[in-house]
Structure 1
Amino acid sequence: MSAEHGSGIAAAGLAALDALRAENRAAAARLQACHDLLALCEEEQFARDVEAGYYDPDGPPRPRDHAVLDPFDVACAELVATYGVHHHRASAMLTLARDLVMGFPGIVEAMRSGLLDERTAGMLVRQMRTVDPSVLDAVHRLVVDWLLGSIESGERPGRSAILAKTDSIIAAFDPEGVLARCAAAARERRVSVRRGVDGMAELRAHLTSIEATAVHDALEHTAGERLDREKQARIDAVRNGTGPAYDPHARSRQQHRADALVDAILGTGDCDDTGDSADTGECAPAGGSGDSARASAPQIRPIITILAPRGPGDEPEVYVPRGGPASIDALIALLARSVGAHISLPDPEAGSADSIDGARRYRISAELARRIRLRDGTCRHPGCSVPAEDCDVDHVVPFDHSDPGGGGQTVEANLMCLCRRHHRFKTFHTWYYQLLRDGTLTIITESGHTITTLPDGPLAKWRDLTRNGSEPLPGPGSAERPWLRPRPLSTHWYRRACRIAAQRLENTAAARSGGLVGDDHDPPPF
C-alpha cells in the first residue's frame, strides 16, 4: 500500500471520528431537551394540582379525586407530534433522558464531550439501574472513567468486558445491587409478537439464560435430525435413480429450527414421510409420541374473516390480528393443526352494522366493535402501533348519557380504536379529534400541529381497493413480479447443479443396464 493511499485512509478515519463525536454531542443535547420537555409537563401538572387544592406544603397529602394524565404520556405525545417519530421511539428517548439527566450526570458529561455514544450510555444505565442511590454517583463515575481511560490507552473493550467491569465496580460498593438486578430481570420474563411484513412476524421470548439455552439446544437437536433425514433421503433417491442429489429448495438449519418450534408447541399438522409416524398413519407433535404428546398440543380454533381482495399471486389475502398479513398456505397449515374454525363474512360497506337503537346506546355491540378493529388495524393515535385487538373502541365525539340523541352516537363513523394509554390521553387532554366517514382521523394538538392518521386494517384496505379500483395484479413469475417465480432464475451455479444431477441419473441408469465398466456403480455423493 502506498504512503499516499495510507494517508488518505487516515484522513478519512479522522473525519469519521469527528462526525461520530459531533453525533454524540448532538445526542446529549437532544436528550437534555427531552428531559426539559418532561420537566415542563410535570410542572404544569403540579400547577394544576395546586390550583385544584390538592397540594398543601403545610398539610397532609390529599388523594386526588379527579383524573390525572401522566406527564410522561403528555411529553411523549408532544414528541410524536413535533418530531415525527413513532410512539415507542419517543417513549424510549424520554425514558433514557429522564434516567441519564437525573441519575447519571457523569455519563451525560461524557456524551457532551463527544467521547461516549448514546447506545453505550443506554447499556450502562440499564446495567446500573438497581444500584443503591447513595453510591450511584460514585459507581457510575468510576465506570465512565475506566471506560474512557481504556479507550484512550488503546484498548477496545467489547460489550461483555464493559458489563463485567461494571458489575465488579457495583459489587465493590453495593454487593446487593447485582443480585437485585438479576431478580428484577427474572420478573421481566415475557413473550411478545411483533408484526412484520411479507406475511411474517417476530415471536420474541425474554427468558432466563438457562431456559433459553435449553430451548435452543432442543430445537437445534430436532433440526439436526431433520437435516440428516433429508440428506439420507436425497442419497437414497440418487442411488435409486428417482431424484437429483441437489435440491435448490431444501430447507436450511434455521428453517428447520423454526419449524421445530412451531411443531413443538402446536403439534404437526401432517405426517412426515421420513418420520417414524409414516408407518402408522398417525401424527404426533414434535418432542413426543403417542397419545400423551398429542394431548399436550393446545386446542386451536382460529377466527377467520373472509373479504374479497386478492393478495400476491392472485391468492386470497389472509390477515392475522396480531401477526398481520399472511399467506393462504400459512392459513391452511394452521387449520391442519386446529380443531375447527369460526368463519365470518362481514359486509364491507361502511355503516352496515349501525342500527337506530344501537346508535343511542353507549355500549358497543360485539359485531360493531369487531368491524372497527378490522377497519383500524392498530391504535389510531399518531405514532402508536398497538394491535387493535388490544385497544379500546372509543367514541370520537363523546357519548351524552343524559341526552343520547344529542351527543356522539354509537355508529361506525364515530368510533375508533385507541390503546388504554391514548384513550385516557384523548379523554383528559385538550387535543381535538375529527373522524371522517372513510376512517381518516385528523388531530389538532395543543401546540397547533395538525396530524392525520389513516386506518390500516383489512377492511379499510378492501374499501380502498373497491372505491379506487385497481388493475389485476400480475401473476407469479411475470416480468413485473420476478420475485414470485416458482423456480429461481437460471444462474451459472444453478445450471451446473442441474447438469451434475442429470449426469448422475444417466450414470445410475447406465449402471443398471450394464453400460458402465468397473465395480464402482455407486455414484457420488458417497
Structure 2
Amino acid sequence: MTMSNSSWSALDLDSVGAGGEAGGAKLNALRAGEGYLAFLRFQAIYAMLVAAADAEGVAVDAADRRVVDVFASVSREVAAALCVAASTADRQVNLAVEAVERLSKVARLMRDGVISVAAFGAVVLEATGVEDAELIAAVDAATASELAELGGVSRGDAEGVSRRMVAEIDPDGLRERRTARGKGVTVSHDVDGSDVTIATTPEDAAMIDASVRAVAGRVCENDSRSCGVRRHDAAVALLTGRPFVCDCSEPGCPVTASDDEIAAEFAKIVVHVVADAATVDGDADKAGWLDGFGVIDPHHVREIAARTDARLRPLDIAGLADGAAQAGNPYRPTATCDVAMRAVFGTCSEPGCDRSAWRCDLDHVTEYNHDAPAAGGATCPCNLNPKCRYHHLVKTFAGGWIDDQIIDANGVIWTEVTTPTGYTVRSRARNHWLLPDLGLVPCRHGEPVAPGVVDDVGQPMRGRSRTKAKHAYRMRIRSRRRYIAACAAAAKAAELDSAGPPPF
C-alpha cells in the first residue's frame, strides 16, 4: 500500500471564506465546508451505486433478495474507503440515496451551508416513513423552504421542521405509524444490571418525566445522590409503591413530605399542548405542539383533547394589546403572555438549545428596571423570550455578549445573539407558524431609556472548579479500575487455592 500526504493542508482557506475570519465566524465557515464536502461524498456514493447497478443491468431501486446485491457491494467499498464499520457504511449509502432521490432540496441546503450534516440526517430520519413519491416531494420542498428562512438551524430545529411538514402533509400515514408502534413494558437483564423500557405515547411520557422530576426534587441540599440516581430512585419508588426519601439521614430533614403533600405536588403537574381551535374541533389539520416532545399531527391533537384529564383553555392573543404584564406586578407577565411566549419559541431561545420552554426562565431581553419600570425593558412580547437557567446566567453575567429581539413588519419574532468575537446568529421564533398573530400585537410602551443594571455580586458560584471536578472524576475512574483489578486477582487466587496442589 502506498501512503501519500493529503493535499488538503495546502488548501487556501481564504478562497473558501474561512481564512481571514476569527471566532464564531470562522467556525461557521468551516461548518459550511463540512456540509459541502458531505454533499460531494453523497453524490460520489450515489454515482458508485448507479455505476454498479448499470454493470449488473438492474435499476438502483430494484428489489433484490440476494445477500450480496449492488447495495452490499457498494457499501463494502464505502466502508473500506472511509475506514468505518459496515453499519456506518450502510447509513452513508442510505443518506446518499436520500440526498439524490428523495430529499434533494434539503440536501442542497447542506451543500450551501444553511444546515449541518447532522441536521440533514435528522430530516432524513423524520421523513423515512413517507413512502408516496408525491408526498415526499412535498415534504422535501416545504422543509427546505422553511429551513432556508429559519436562521441558525440546529439539529433539533431541522428535526422539528421536518416533523411538522410530515405531520401536516402526511397526517394519516403518521397516525398509522404511531399506532403501529404500540405500547408496552420490556424488562431485560444483563450480567451487571437490568433495564426497564416503557413504550408509550409522547404525552404520557411527558407526564412520567414530570412526575419523576417532581419526586426526585424533594431532597435537601445534604442529599448525596446525583440527579440521575435520584431520578432512578424516584421512578422505582413510584412503580413499586415505596416511599422516596432524602438520603441525608438527618431526623430533622426539612423536605420530608407526607403522602398528602406528594399528592398535592402531583396535582400541579401540567403537560402543555398548543394547537389551533379549528384543529381541535376537527375543522382544520394544522399540526400542534407538545411541550417536551415537539410537533404532533392533527389526529394526535384531537386524541389528547379528548382525554378525560385534558383541560382546554383558549389563548386570547388579541387581549395582550390591553396589557401583557400583571396589574399588581408589572415585572411579571400575565398567564396568557407567559404561555404565548413559551409556545411561540417552544424551547430555550439560545441557538441550538433544546431545553423545553416550560422549564426555562422567561427573560427580559432588555433588562427590566425595578426602580423605574417605564424606563427599562418592558414586560411585553417584544421583549420576552425563554432561556434555560444556564443560558440566562450566561446572558446576565458573561461579558461581551449582546442579545436582541426584533419583530419585523410581518409580525415575525426574531432573536439575535452576538458573541464576544462579533459573530451574530439571527434566528426566527421556532413556532411562529403556531402563533402567527402574536408578533402583530401592538405595544403600548415607550422605548427603554434606562435598562436595569445587573449586580455582579449576585452571580452564583460553582461548588468546585472545573479542574477539581475533572480530577475528581478521574479519581473515581481510577478507583473503580483498581477495585475491579483487586476483585479479579482475589477470584484468581481463590480459584488456585481450591484446585489443590499441582499434579507433579
TM-score (norm 2): 0.36
Query: RCO greater where, 1 or 2, for CA within 8 Å and sep 6 or more?
Result: 1
Structure showing greater Rg:
1
